[in-house]
Chain A
């Protein structure tokens, strides 16, 4: 099954400060392990929401809203797309990630299972 891992906002990524070299190296080591296990199919880190836009739909009307989205409690700062055998496997991998803060959401991609 395919799962999407959403890394929820931390102040640092919203400020646009790049992670420290040490944190980056740890992340790369972990990501490398995931790749070696054949788990990762896509990944990315997002720019701060100040560079983002939102499009609101209301009937026929579309409104484009500029970032930053300060009113939102949680913002997505990055994502992973994994292929795993179960949600439990995804959780087990995620617990090994080298983070000391933040919330990560694990969601199954439902459409992918439509076969």
Chain B
């Protein structure tokens, strides 16, 4: 994509976004009743926003298949949205808004492709592909199955390993989650310009590296799928335990991630790890309500009121895990983590938790995907299953681990084990160190409270 084109893409996109936000369409209403016409316009506007949420991924995916790149596809989709905003408030929302948007965007895509083919020699090759697709596609609308393949292709493209994690996350939320740049920025507590830049750069990178719109098969597929799963889980985790800011959880992000996971699971029913990831997210999300106290403070797993766990999500999560296991994927990394979450979900009280099983599952996970963070989690499980000293031995082996140097959970876990061993002075110091390391306000308060408890126990003991 040339610099000139990408600039025009940006400005068009901005125009569309601004209209979405600010223009209040005014249908021809009787002047004596301005309230009513404004209300009608507001309703139409809200409906269009909702339709956009439902249709945008399919729309962008279908267009990306047609034109070959996400940037142009999104631009065309935005143009169709602008047309809808101009026409629907007065003409009414069409009976089938999805196909209307697609037909409008396709029409523009055809123009664009024709222009590209005549003007730009370097698009010659692409033009041939497009012309071929276009002959079939423009005349007959996609079937449901094509939509599915399109969405899948878009997921693989937006989550392409050529992009940084941040870029993949932002682009995925934008083109597949239907979130605006503003919404993504708010969710990740970063300036809007940062997210906008990330998305623009991501699209440019995809174009420059000639990433193809495809559903990969063969030996490359596993790695590409792993990248998609990683992005979905990153989005989930950012909502589940916000790394920064005031709030300990941001459930809307979790819901967005779960929804993406469910869509993917429907599209790839035979991929065990996809079901395992859905299971993992649903089982974790079942505890969202219980993780936060009345004044927003975090409540850790073993202190949670299990009656408030969401039984519906637990049931769904366990079913998804079973499905992953039936597909032969019990030992996959997400399946192992989901199996651990399932152990907690099955325990009616904290005391009933099957810690030896959890410890064994962490052993398997540590062998499959060795990482200091997994090892730290294993230490917790070992401590619960075989006593605090056994846990501490595992943690102490990690103390010199450079990647955990600034990780607050290392001193936090260590502190907890030390406290159980009655080494209260050391425990307090470790809780305080953890409090200094965390970037989350709520978590810092919790860790300070734990440190104070250790001091108090020391006094009374």
Contacts and interface: CB of A to CB of B under 8 A. Distances in A.
Interface in B35-72: 46-47, 49-51, 53-54
Nearest to B278: A38
A54 B54 CA distance: 38
Contact of B53 (A36, A42, A85, A111): A85
A52 B178 CA distance: 42
Given A36-B263, A41-B316, A89 B291 contact: no
Interface in A89-109: 89, 91-93
B50 A35 contact: no
A82 to B, nearest CB: 11
B219 to A, nearest CB: 28
A37 interface: yes
B381 interface: no
A95 to B, nearest CB: 9
Contacts of A38: 258-263, 266
A49 B411 CA distance: 59
Given A42-B312, A115-B251, A115-B291, A86 B263 contact: no
Interface residues of A, number: 23
A83 interface: yes
Scoring B148, B249, B289 by chain A CB atoms within 10 A of each residue's CB, the highest score goes to: B289
Contacts, number: 61
B137 interface: no
B54 A92 contact: yes
Scoring A33, A91, A92, A111 by chain B CB atoms within 10 A of each residue's CB, the highest score goes to: A92
A73 interface: no
Given A38-B258, A115-B291, A89 B50 contact: yes
Interface string B382-415: 0000000000000000000000000000000000
A37 B256 CA distance: 11
Contact of B289 (A33, A35, A42, A112): A112
A81 B289 contact: no
A88 interface: yes
B53 A89 contact: yes
20 contacts: A33-B144, A36-B263, A36-B266, A36-B267, A38-B263, A41-B312, A41-B313, A83-B258, A85-B178, A85-B256, A86-B50, A86-B53, A88-B49, A88-B50, A89-B50, A89-B53, A92-B51, A93-B54, A115-B249, A115-B288
Interface of B: 46-47, 49-51, 53-54, 144, 148, 178, 249, 251-252, 255-256, 258-263, 266-267, 288-289, 291-292, 310, 312-313, 316
Given A88-B49, A91-B50, A115-B291, 18 more contacts: A35-B262, A36-B266, A37-B54, A37-B263, A38-B259, A38-B260, A42-B312, A81-B312, A83-B259, A89-B50, A89-B54, A91-B47, A92-B47, A92-B50, A92-B54, A112-B310, A114-B289, A115-B249
| 4 smallest beta-carbon distances between A and B, as pairs | A38-B262, A88-B50, A38-B259, A92-B50
